């Protein structure tokens, strides 16, 4: 058996109603809280009111930044950090989906470090240090796993390059995972964020660096989501489905924290960076089909196992046939959750396509995929989803 590391330094408070413990989760870690949030409108208003009530009762000093938006940028992080510095905050709280949580994490770095958060991205010589403020996260989507990961994904406001700050200092001290907070997520966002859960589990499972511990979490996450994601999409008020998806998200988040993602994230991340109207889950749904066709021969048994988890009716198929069917099984999942999204509708010109290829090739995730693709293969896949043939 291979040797491996596993880390989960985050205290989890998991279960319906656990948001009531928000003050306790914060009080152990600081006194002056920077609350990072998104837009508190529509279905999220009740969630906002509940959090504000709990924070008002907590006796903690509070400063608020509520400008975090999907595919967050360095400008949002700087605006949040500025407010936090002005109020001398010693603790950062993120309440929202992955975009909000990632702004909270990056602001915890920027508030206490000399440079902007992007200067601490994984490829930079300088990295976040222990001065990073303590972070508490409340996730409201299922999800990105950001509440248990050591990563913050931010887009540079000028270059539109979307990348990660990755550091043990970005682990939250505590995370509240209360499935009741997710009841208000609309079907399309439930589908996109839920597909992200699948990708985290799948990509860590087929990853060249897969570990026995992450395998366990990945199998369970995929088993759960194959039943409960379609249920959560078709009936957002299904409390059992929301709870099981919140758990699948948390398991898959532990996978990415300890193993990581592969080629689909390398190709999807630049799409959402340059086309911020495309959510992370939608971008992943665009790139998955051709990547599955390319990749199954690189990890036949693992692709076969995932195919059977998604479609138990294929249990009797020999490994190679089941592995080859991975694309169909994932396309069926996407069909069941209604997550169709068209890359071609973005109408990228040749220069834009080439930028996506170059960025996708630069990510280390590409090199841990079971079939490490050539630049031409990545270009061909972008061209395929753009409606064209191979170059
Ligand atoms: P999101 O945070 O962008 O939210 C999507 C939409 O859902 C927003 O409009 C938001 O306001 C709304 N929303 C959130 N919670 C809601 C609720 N309870 N009810 C109603 N609406 C709600 O979506 P996401 O998929 O959670 O996060 C995506 C971001 O996370 C991307 O930028 C992605 O790259 C990043 N990400 C980070 C990690 C990590 O480990 N740090 C991992 C994967 C993805």
Specify the ligand 1 atom closest to the Cα of 143.
26
348 CB under 6 A from ligand 1? no
What's the rounded mean pLDDT across residues 375-388? 96
96 CB under 6 A from ligand 1? yes
Specify the ligand 1 atom closest to the Cα of 155.
32
Specify the ligand 1 atom closest to the Cα of 149.
40
Q: Which of 71, 70, 74, 54 is nearest to 62 (CA)?
A: 54
pLDDT at 44: 86
Q: Which runs of consecutive H residues, i.e. helices, occur in 14-116?
A: 22-27, 45-58, 74-86, 98-110
Pairing, β 151-155 against β 162-166: antiparallel
**Which pLDDT tens digit goes with each residue over 41-79?**
888 888 889 999 999 999 999 999 999 999 999 999 999
Q: In testing the pocket of ligand 1, which one of 96, 101, 272 has its CB within 8 Å of the most ligand atoms?
A: 96
Spacing, Cα 322 to ligand 1 middle (Å): 32
pLDDT at 387: 93
As given in the structure block, the two tokens for residue 226 are 């194959």
Spacing, Cα 280 to ligand 1 middle (Å): 8
CB-CB contact of 95 with 26 (8 Å): no
| Cα distance between the two ends of the chain | 42
pLDDT at 374: 98
Alpha carbon 98 to its chain's center = 6
User: With bands split at pLDDT 50, 70 and 90, how would you rate the model's confidence at 389?
Assistant: low
CB-CB contact of 27 with 62 (8 Å): no
Which residues are bridge partners to 55 per DSSP? none
Q: In testing the pocket of ligand 1, which one of 36, 68, 99 has its CB within 8 Å of the most ligand atoms?
A: 99
Count of beta carbons in the 10 Å neighbourhood of residue 180: 17
**Which pLDDT tens digit goes with each residue over 263-307?**
999 999 999 999 999 999 999 999 999 999 999 999 999 999 999
Surface-to-core class of residue 32, CB atoms within 10 Å of its CB (0-12 exposed, 13-18 middle, 19+ buried): middle
100 CB under 6 A from ligand 1? yes
Alpha carbon 175 to its chain's center = 15
Q: Which of 233, 188, 244, 224 is nearest to 16 (CA)?
A: 244
Q: In testing the pocket of ligand 1, which one of 97, 140, 145 has its CB within 8 Å of the most ligand atoms?
A: 97
142 CB under 6 A from ligand 1? no
Spacing, Cα 279 to ligand 1 middle (Å): 8
What's the rounded mean pLDDT across residues 166-179? 98
What phi and psi, each to the nearest 5 degrees, are found at residue 172? -65, 150
pTM beyond 0.95 = yes
Whether the pLDDT of residue 179 is over 70: the answer is yes
99 CB under 6 A from ligand 1? yes
What's the rounded mean pLDDT across residues 15-39? 96
Whether the pLDDT of residue 390 is over 80: the answer is no
pLDDT at 88: 98
Whether the pLDDT of residue 21 is over 90: the answer is yes
Spacing, Cα 162 to ligand 1 middle (Å): 15
Q: By alpha-carbon position, which residue is closest to atom 19 of ligand 1? A: 185
CB-CB contact of 136 with 188 (8 Å): no
How many whole angstroms separate alpha carbon 123 and alpha carbon 364?
10
Mean pLDDT across the chain, nearest whole number? 96
How many whole angstroms separate alpha carbon 40 and alpha carbon 192?
20
DSSP state of 373: P
146 CB under 6 A from ligand 1? yes
């Amino acid at each position: 058996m291979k040797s491996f590391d596993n880390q989960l330094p985050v205290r989890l408070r998991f279960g319906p109603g656990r948001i009531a413990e928000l003050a306790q989760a914060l009080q152990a870690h600081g006194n002056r809280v920077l609350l990072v949030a998104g837009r508190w409108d529509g279905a999220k208003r009740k969630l906002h009111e509940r959090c504000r009530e709990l924070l008002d009762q907590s006796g903690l000093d509070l400063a608020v930044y509520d400008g975090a938006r999907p595919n967050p940028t360095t400008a949002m992080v700087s605006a949040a950090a500025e407010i936090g510095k002005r109020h001398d905050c010693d603790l950062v709280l993120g309440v929202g989906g992955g975009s909000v949580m990632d702004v909270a994490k990056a602001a915890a770095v920027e508030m206490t470090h000399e440079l902007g958060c992007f200067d601490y991205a994984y490829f930079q010589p300088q990295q976040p240090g222990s001065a990073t403020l303590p972070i508490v996260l409340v996730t409201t989507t299922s999800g990105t796993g950001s509440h248990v990961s050591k990563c913050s994904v931010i887009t540079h406001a000028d270059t539109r390059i979307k990348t990660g700050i990755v550091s043990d200092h970005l682990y939250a001290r505590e995370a509240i995972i209360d499935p009741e907070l997710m009841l208000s997520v609309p079907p399309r966002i439930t589908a996109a964020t839920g597909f992200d859960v699948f990708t985290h589990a799948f990509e860590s499972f087929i990853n060249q660096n897969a570990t026995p511990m992450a395998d366990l979490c990945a199998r369970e996450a995929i088993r759960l989501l194959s039943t409960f994601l379609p249920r959560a999409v078709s009936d957002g008020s299904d409390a059992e489905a929301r709870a099981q998806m919140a758990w699948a998200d948390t398991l898959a988040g532990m996978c990415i924290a300890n193993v990581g993602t592969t080629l689909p994230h390398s190709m999807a991340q630049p799409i959402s960076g340059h086309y911020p109207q495309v959510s992370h889950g939608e971008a992943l749904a665009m790139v998955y089909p051709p990547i599955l066709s390319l990749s199954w021969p690189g990890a036949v048994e693992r692709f076969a196992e995932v195919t059977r988890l998604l479609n138990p009716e294929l249990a009797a198929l020999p490994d190679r046939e089941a592995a080859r069917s991975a694309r169909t099984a994932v396309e069926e999942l996407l069909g069941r959750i209604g997550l169709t999204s068209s890359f071609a509708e973005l109408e990228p010109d040749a220069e834009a396509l080439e930028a996506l290829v170059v960025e996708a090739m630069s990510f280390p995730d590409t090199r841990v995929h079971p079939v490490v693709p050539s630049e031409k293969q990545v270009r061909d896949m972008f061209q395929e989803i753009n409606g064209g043939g191979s170059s």
